[in-house]
Amino acid sequence: MKKTPSKRPAAGMRPEYDFAGGIRGKYVARYRRGTNVVLLDPELVEAFPDSKSVNDALRALLAIATRAETRKRV
């Protein structure tokens, strides 16, 4: 016994999707600037609860690495 193929929805938007109050291009500038999304492992989330703490830690690490590299060259 074969299943009858299900009917495909009609082309276009469903009636329950109402974008009448939408603003075209509202986020286009933010999209064009780009973004970097980084996923932290669960054990790191406790140490770095927000983006500020991650950025502070990375800046400190970069400063240490830069100083170590500068000392290596001399």
Q: Say how far apart CA 47 and CA 54 lie, in whole Å.
A: 9
- Res 64: pLDDT: 96
For the chain, give every domain's residue range: 43-74
Model-level pTM? 0.49
- Res 2: pLDDT: 72
Dihedral sign (CA 45, 51, 56, 61): positive
- Res 43: pLDDT: 92
pLDDT tens, N- to C-terminus, the chain (74 residues): 677 766 666 678 788 888 888 999 998 888 888 878 888 999 999 999 999 999 999 999 999 999 988 877 76
- Res 15: pLDDT: 83
